[in-house]
């Protein structure tokens, strides 16, 4: 549909595409109707050539001498990434991190709705309900369900993506359950490498690793 050579798109290109979109929305707010690869690149510390090369993986969106139409490019990039239509996702793990993710505004701004929350045991479930009084906590509107209702909910709400925010020692088991329930993508916050069938995609975020990487940058790459 959007691209002619699906398989071959380099990962770094897709990552930058998300950043282009983020930046384009800022340019849109500031009233710019058109944007050149040069200024878009500068706003992200990238070269203009890089921006153009990345975009031409998906088509020819620009006009020579003018640049790219901001509105148009936003909707094209959204369509490429798949965020042009809203979709339900589920969350497993109603601990501190899970509850924060549940309330995170950034997801809904991109069209992701946390439509179901699961947790292993009733302790977390009640804790999640009692503890928090802030109005922004989505756990007030989305009840925490036991894992036994996973499969049924996935089907009913047409969910394809899961956010995994459980302790490391439960992560693989829960991942197995998610796979079994028919999920096709997992955003994994547990510090373990998940083993899943090839049909399932995994994107891992290890918060402690990110801090560790920062520390190394500070100690070496600089003075």
Residue ranges that bind DNA, judged by CB under 7 A:
10-13, 35-38, 46-50, 52-53, 55-56, 60-68
Nearer to a second copy, 66 or 215 (CB): 215
Q: Shortest distance, CB of residue 139 to a second copy, whole angstroms? A: 11
Nearer to DNA, 64 or 134 (CB): 64
Nearer to a second copy, 60 or 219 (CB): 219
Nearer to a second copy, 141 or 219 (CB): 219
Q: CB under 5 to 8 A by kind: which of DNA, a second copy, none does 66 bind?
A: DNA
Q: What CA–CA distance (Å, rounded) separates 17 from 6?
A: 15
Q: Shortest distance, CB of residue 191 to DNA, whole angstroms? A: 20
Q: Shortest distance, CB of residue 16 to a second copy, whole angstroms? A: 10
Q: What CA–CA distance (Å, rounded) separates 36 from 52?
A: 9
Q: Shortest distance, CB of residue 40 to DNA, whole angstroms? A: 7
Residue with tokens 């707010």: 29
Q: Shortest distance, CB of residue 71 to DNA, whole angstroms? A: 15
Q: What CA–CA distance (Å, rounded) separates 171 from 176?
A: 9
Q: Give me the long-range contacts of 167-175 (CB less than 8 A, separation at least 24).
A: 167/93, 167/95, 168/192, 170/120, 174/92, 174/93, 174/120, 174/147
Q: CB under 5 to 8 A by kind: which of DNA, a second copy, none does 152 bind?
A: none
Nearer to a second copy, 66 or 168 (CB): 168
Sheet of 201-204: strand order equals 144-146, 112-119, 87-92, 161-164, 185-188, 201-204
Q: CB under 5 to 8 A by kind: which of a second copy, DNA, none does 43 bind?
A: a second copy
DSSP, res 90: E
Cβ(107)–Cβ(138) under 8 Å? no
């Amino acid at each position: 549909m959007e691209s002619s050579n699906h398989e071959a798109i380099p990962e770094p290109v897709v990552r930058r595409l998300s950043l282009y979109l983020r930046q384009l929305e800022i340019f849109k707010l500031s009233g710019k109707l058109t944007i050149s690869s040069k200024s878009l690149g500068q706003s992200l510390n990238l070269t203009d050539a890089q921006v153009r090369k990345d975009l031409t993986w998906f088509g020819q969106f620009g006009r020579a001498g003018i640049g790219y139409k901001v509105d148009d490019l936003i909707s094209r990039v959204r369509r490429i990434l798949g965020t042009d239509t809203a979709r339900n996702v589920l969350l497993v793990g109603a601990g501190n991190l899970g509850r924060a993710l549940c309330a995170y505004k950034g997801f809904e701004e991109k069209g992701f709705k946390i439509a179901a929350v699961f947790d292993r045991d009733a302790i977390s479930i009640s804790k999640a309900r009692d503890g928090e009084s802030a109005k922004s906590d989505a756990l007030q509107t989305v009840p925490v369900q036991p894992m036994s209702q996973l499969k049924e909910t996935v089907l009913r709400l047409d969910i394809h993506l899961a956010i995994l925010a459980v302790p490391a020692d439960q992560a693989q088991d829960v991942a197995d359950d998610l796979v079994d329930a028919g999920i096709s993508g997992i955003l994994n916050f547990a510090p373990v490498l998940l083993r899943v069938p090839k049909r399932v995609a995994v994107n891992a975020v290890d918060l402690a690793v990110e801090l560790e990487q920062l520390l190394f940058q500070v100690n070496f790459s600089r003075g």
